[in-house]
């Protein structure tokens, strides 16, 4: 696991908690295009845009400096997964 994965996971777990379900991986194998799936009740009552803003605020500097060129998000609550 490279430093980018460690840094992203650390930032996410600081906000979402240690037991949150996170899947972060390189979609194209180029180290620039990523997929991020998070299941957390922090998203409860938030729109898709509001959920995305939470995540983007945590990774903003990595996106601006092109460590992450593209990021596809899937952000769900526990109740959305169960239903």
Phi, psi angle pair for 39, to nearest 5°: -115, 115
CB atoms within 10 A of CB 12: 20
pLDDT by residue for the chain (83 residues), tens only, comes to 489 999 999 999 999 999 899 999 999 999 899 999 999 999 999 999 999 999 999 999 999 998 999 999 999 999 999 87
pTM for this one? 0.90
Number of neighbours of residue 24 by Cβ within 10 angstroms:
16
Q: Spell out the domain ranges in the chain.
A: 3-82
CATH T-level assignment (fold) for domain 3-82: GMP Synthetase; Chain A, domain 3 (3.30.300)
Q: What is the pLDDT of residue 12?
A: 97
Eight-class DSSP state of 76: E
Say what the pLDDT of residue 66 is.
85
List, as one string, the DSSP characters of 15-70: HH-TT-EEEEEESSSSSSEEEEEEE-GGGTT--HHHHHHHHHHHHHHHHHTTSSSE
């Amino acid at each position: 696991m490279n430093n980018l994965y460690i840094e992203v996971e650390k930032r996410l777990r600081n906000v979402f908690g240690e037991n949150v379900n996170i899947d972060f991986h390189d979609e194209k194998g180029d180290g620039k295009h990523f997929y991020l799936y998070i299941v957390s009740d922090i998203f409860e009552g938030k729109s898709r845009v509001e959920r995305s803003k939470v995540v983007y605020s945590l990774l903003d500097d990595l996106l601006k400096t092109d460590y992450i060129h593209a990021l596809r998000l899937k952000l769900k609550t526990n109740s959305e997964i169960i239903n």
